[in-house]
Amino acid sequence: MSGQMNILLGIAGGIGAYKTPMLVRELAKAGARIRTVMTRAAHEFVTPLSLQAVSGFEVRSETFDQSAEAAMSHIELARWADLIVIAPATAHLIARLAHGLADDLLTTVVLASTAPVVIAPAMNMHMWSHVATERNCERLTEMGYSIIRPDVGEQACGDEGPGRMVEPHYLAAQVMALLQKSVRIEGSLAGRKVLVTAGPTREAIDPVRYLTNHSSGRQGFAMSRAACEAGAEVTLVSGPVSLETPPGVQRIDVVSAKDMRDAVMARAPQMDMMIAVAAVSDFAPVELAEHKIKRHKAAGNWMLELAANPDVLAEVAALDDAPFTVGFAAETRDVKDNARSKLEAKGIDMIAVNDVSNQMIGFNSSNNAMTLMWREAGGVASERLAFSSKDEIAARIIVRAGTCLSARDG
């Protein structure tokens, strides 16, 4: 992004609001121009005067502010922003945003703006872990918002756990990375057919039990959304997840690894690109019990015999006229070495790998950080995709994959 960046900072009524003058200063040092909107409750924790002093702009709070409305209406304020950052975001504000309410200036501006939104939650640890907050955050993630998860530590109420707003220097670094590393993907896959797999698979043991993994499907759905935005005709084959289908994407739901293989192999020969993000189970039970296995019939240790599932991505890569194949790998150690080995062993064109031992990224997180490796003349090239939202990661992978596909076909 060229020129000075415009950041609208929304501040809700949480104790973390005391950090916002320092956040404004950090963003300003990085070259951003910051305007601030406060909720009424935020005035209890930080003063408009302190924010005005560090930002150089008058602070806004009221939707119907006659003195400010002539100079900049809430619509103009929404249009002004390149990015909206809400820090701290309380449980109450998150709930209002998740349900599309526009009952104060901040929520009205968010709804009226097309700018990306970054949310830094801050609340009591029990409020943060409450199922209602979890669902609201999931809803916001599905809507395209980026959520920077709170820190773990001592809280103002005396509890100790997750819920503290992240420190200003860290939050500012993430915000600037999002602005500076934004990529344009429109048209980079125009006219291409792309197949994406996402989510986990479930391998049945008996009618009530199954083997699975922690994949949420978010990265795969982000990849399908990015491919569609890049102009591709996208088919998404998904394991069991609770995510809405991205607009313009054809979705096929499957359960087991065999189901996924059948759906993929029936379509792969017609595709220009396959992006295999699904966490397909490596093994499945040799036998499926017809009835529920009773505990008393399996006294002591119970042995479950497993057989290897088919390697769907390797099968696609081995096709005579194979599409450009992009694999994903979740590793916990020797991340780059394991990824390179998979690139070679599976015969694929590109692989994206992340370290799922880092709880800030990967499974069940809205954010990610990956290393991308691909084949090119003379060997294997690589690129580090720094910590950012899964949508941003997806956009960067799509751009690189589209470039590589064009070079292969050219």
Catalytic: which of 137, 157, 228, 404? 157
Relative to beta strand 160-164, strand 151-154 is antiparallel
Contact 257, 215 (CB under 8 A): no
Overall size of the chain counted in residues: 410
3-state secondary structure 201-235: CCEEEECCEEECCCCCCHHHHHHHHHHHHCCCEEE
Cα gap 358→248, rounded to integer Å = 33
Cα gap 168→54, rounded to integer Å = 14
**CA torsion through residues 75, 77, 83, 85, sign:** negative
Q: Which of 335, 404, 405, 393 is nearest to 368 (CA)?
A: 393
**157 is known as an active-site residue:** yes
Q: Where are the alpha helices (DSSP H) in 240-356?
A: 257-265, 312-317, 335-346
Question: 3-state DSSP call for residue 287?
Answer: coil
Residues annotated as catalytic (active site), given as ranges: 157
